[in-house]
Structures are given as C-alpha cells and as structure tokens.
Amino acid sequence: SKVSNPMLCLLLSSIVALLPTPLKASDSVMSSLSRRSALLGASAAATATISLPLTAQAAAAASELYSPAPGSLKGTTVMITGANTGLGLESAKRLASAGAKIVVAARSQAKADVAVAEIMAFTNAGSAVGVEVDLANLASVKSLPGRLEAVIGSGGAIDVLLNNAGVMAVPERLLTADGFEKTVGINHLGHFALVAALLPYLERSKSGFRIVNVSSDAHRFVDRKAMVQALETSLDPPDYAAGGWGAYGVSKAANILFTVELERRLLEKGVAGSAVTLHPGVVQTDLGRYIIGGVAAEDLHPTDVPPPTGVGAFLKENVLDRAILTVDKGANTQIYLAAAADTNGDRTKAGGLFYDKMRAVKPTDTSADPELAQRLWRLSEELTGAKIAL
C-alpha cells in the first residue's frame, strides 16, 4: 500500500530507523512505497538511522560551535573538496577565520570562485583561492596538480586535505565518467586518486600534514558479507540495494577502511602525517538533492502538507528535529580534526581513527578490519590506475 502523507512517512521512518541493522548484501526496503513517498521516507530513515538519540553530554557538545582560536592556523594551507556548499563551505569559513589559506576544490571553476568570494566576505583573517576538480572524472583528478600550481605556486604545500565532497543515496544507478557506480566512484575512488595526486604537496608541509576523510555512521549499514561482496565485484555489487543506500553505506565503509590503511602506511614509513575520519552527524546539506532524484527539490520538505498533530507532532519535535543538525553544528567535527585539535595541533599523529561529536568512537569491526583495508587499497589502485606512493 502507498503512504499518502509524506510528513507522516518521514516521522514513522525515523522511528523505525532508530534501531539500525546492518544492510545485508541483498536487502531491499523500497518495494512497497510509491516513488515520491519512498524517497521522502528513505531520507528520514537514513537521517535517523545514522544518528542514535543524543546523550545529555553529546547533545551539549552538538549544540556548541567549535572554531579554532584566531590566528592559530596562520601559515596553514587547507584544501577542501566540495567547499562551495554545505559542510565544506562552513568549514572553509571557520578555518579561514583562524588564519588558514583555503583552497576551494569544486566541480567547476565558477562554483569555486563564488565560494571564494563568500569566504572572503565572511572573514579577512585568512585567504582563499579556488580550483576545479571533478571527482567523478579521474582525468580531472589526475590533471589537478597543473591547475593547483597556478593558484598556490610552484613548490607550494598543502598542510591539511579535507576530503569532504560526496553524494548520498543516488536513487538510480548512475555512472561516473570512468564507468564506476557514482556514489562509490565519487565518495571513495575519486578521493583515493586525489590523495595520490596531492601526496607530493602534502609531503612539502613543514609541520606535517593531516588528511581528514568525511565518512558517516551509514558505514554501519554494511556487514562483512556485503563489504566482501563489494570488493569481489569491483565496488559495484550487482544488486543496487535499498534505493542507493547500499552503495552509500559501502562508500562510507570504504572511507574508513581507506583511512585505516593510509594511517598504517604513514606510520610504517615514518612519514610526518596522519589520517583520520569522522561522522559529521545528520546534517541539513545539499547532499539531500541526491536522495530525491527526479522528484522536485521542494518535495523533500513539502509546503502543501499540513504540520502533524497529536502523536505525529510529538514524534517530529522529539525525534526528527533532534536528529538533524544545522550545517554550522554539523561541521564541528571536521573543523576540529582539520585543526588537529585532537592532538593539540600536531598533524603528524592521529588521536584516534573515527570521530563523532569531536570524540573518538568505535566504528564497526568490518570498517576497521586491516585485511579488508588492504584489499580495498589494492583494488582502488587497480580501478583508478593511481598509486599513493607510500
């Protein structure tokens, strides 16, 4: 049967999703809903699933904004993918306010230039430049160094790479320019190739570098069987599960596994750098546009549906509204890690692997598995043709 009230669909889905279970290799949860209601419900289900109810301590932490001390990042160059919108733009503004030079990496130069202007209007403490890179096109990623030198100079260094860009739950199976499933192609493979291209710039950092990979608690959707299946099918399982949430979960697990192996190699080689990853929380960002596909954007928060009453109003106020963070609060953890606040500013070491609400927390055993991490690394090299020289 169809769900007729999209707002009720949002609320009920969020309640059910507060009890998360791993996504098996062949799960599908979309069959009984109409396309419009299903996509609306999937949005709420995902947001609620990847953020369990806040404890009092965590709620207090989430309600405050973290900003590095003024001047503390002077002389630090921070490159942020997807810095033209959402969490990336918010991170850029607050890191620039602490004195950092921001390199805005966006899918087009025009988008990057608009973001640079917005950052500079926000603060005059730091600076910003823009560069084009399309993570869905490996040729664009691999040719980035030439464009980057034009904005940071020959021999320039990057001190912090914040891999923030991503797509979420693309409802239809779409491909990147290189033929990869779009969610995994952008969220993991594009960033893997980016690190390979930028490692020489990172290694020029005089005080050590930090790579921050933005993951998500959606990695908990993926059990070991599903991750192994993804690895055995070149990160493109034949069953496009749960309207795109399966691919999203795999991509977020891949972010953590990539970080595990990257940090291991940095330590083994004695390189003055570190790698960390995080869950930003469930945030009101442009990622939502990828949930709705062909549905009009305004339908995600329809204005023609009356607000819920009774139990529905209670659920909205006490579950859905509390689960979703504003962009400024959602950016806290990645700003915290980009500033290396977890190690008192020392970018050469990591205080932990996976962070949520500015605290190190435990990811799933699957996503932290060293053997799976090494398998993913080798497969990523094979698929992208990019090798990270570590």
How would you class 49 by CB atoms within 10 Å of its CB: exposed for 0-12, middle for 13-18, buried for 19 or more?
buried
Q: Could you tell me the pLDDT band of residue 293, with boundaries at 50, 70 and 90?
A: very low
Alpha-carbon distance of 179 to 90, in angstroms, equals: 31
Q: Is the pLDDT of residue 71 over 70?
A: yes
Least confident of 84-88, 184-188, 332-336: 84-88
- Average pLDDT of the residues of the chain: 81
Alpha-carbon distance of 186 to 214, in angstroms, equals: 12
Give the closest residue to 175 by CA, choosing from 252, 227, 240, 223: 240
Higher pLDDT pick, 326 / 255: 255
- Which pLDDT value is given to residue 62? 53
Q: Is the pLDDT of residue 7 over 80?
A: no
pTM of the full structure: 0.81
Note every long-range contact of 348-352, with CB atoms under 8 Å and residues 24 or more positions apart, other chains counting: 348/207, 348/208, 348/272, 348/273, 348/274, 349/274, 350/263, 350/274, 350/275, 350/276, 351/276, 352/276
Q: Could you tell me the pLDDT band of residue 172, with boundaries at 50, 70 and 90?
A: confident
pLDDT mean over 311-332: 70
Which pLDDT tens digit goes with each residue over 362-389? Answer: 999 999 999 999 999 999 999 999 999 9
Residue partners of 298: CB distance under 8 A and separation at least 6: none
Site of tokens 């988008």: 111
Higher pLDDT pick, 319 / 112: 112
The DSSP element (H or E) to which 25 belongs, if any, is none
Q: Could you tell me the pLDDT band of residue 306, with boundaries at 50, 70 and 90?
A: low
Q: Identify which of 7-21, 218-232, 301-315, 364-378 has the greatest average pLDDT.
A: 364-378
- Beta strand 101-106 with 77-81 is parallel
Q: Are 166 and 111 in contact (CB under 8 A)?
A: no
Which pLDDT tens digit goes with each residue over 16-64? Answer: 343 334 545 444 333 332 333 333 334 434 433 333 333 444 444 556 8
Q: Are 17 and 45 in contact (CB under 8 A)?
A: yes
Percentage of residues in the chain with pLDDT exceeding 90? 63
Categorise residue 46: left if φ over 0, alpha if ψ from -120 to 50, beta otherwise: alpha
- Which pLDDT value is given to residue 36? 34
Tell whether the torsion through CA atoms of 49, 187, 180 and 220 is positive or negative: negative
- Which pLDDT value is given to residue 313? 65
- Which pLDDT value is given to residue 165? 94
Q: Identify which of 5-9, 170-174, 194-198, 325-329 has the greatest average pLDDT.
A: 194-198
Higher pLDDT pick, 44 / 207: 207
Domains defined for the chain, CATH in brackets: 6-384 (3.40.50.720)
Q: Identify which of 54-68, 230-244, 257-271 has the greatest average pLDDT.
A: 257-271
DSSP readout, 211-226? Answer: EEEE--GGGGGB-HHH
Alpha-carbon distance of 226 to 208, in angstroms, equals: 36
Helix, coil or strand: residue 353: coil
The residues facing 325 across adjacent strands are 283
Q: Could you tell me the pLDDT band of residue 284, with boundaries at 50, 70 and 90?
A: low
Residue partners of 345: CB distance under 8 A and separation at least 6: 72, 339
Q: Which residues are catalytic?
A: 248
For residues 331-360, b (16+ Cβ closer than 10 Å) or e, as one string? bbbbbbbbbbbbbeeebbbbbebbbbbbee
Instruction: Record the tokens describing residue 276, joined without a space.
Output: 């960390």
Kindly state the DSSP code that residue 364 receives in the 8-state scheme: -
| 3 state SS for 249-261 | HHHHHHHHHHHHH
Q: Are 264 and 222 in contact (CB under 8 A)?
A: no
Instruction: Record the tokens describing residue 161, joined without a space.
Output: 């790479």
Instruction: Record the tokens describing residue 237, joined without a space.
Output: 């399982």
Give the closest residue to 268 by CA, choosing from 146, 159, 377: 377
Alpha-carbon distance of 322 to 317, in angstroms, equals: 7
Q: Are 205 and 157 in contact (CB under 8 A)?
A: yes
Q: Could you tell me the pLDDT band of residue 287, with boundaries at 50, 70 and 90?
A: very low
Which pLDDT tens digit goes with each residue over 114-153? Answer: 999 999 999 989 999 999 999 999 999 999 999 999 999 9
Q: Are 357 and 332 in contact (CB under 8 A)?
A: yes
Alpha-carbon distance of 347 to 46, in angstroms, equals: 33
Q: Is the pLDDT of residue 8 over 60?
A: no
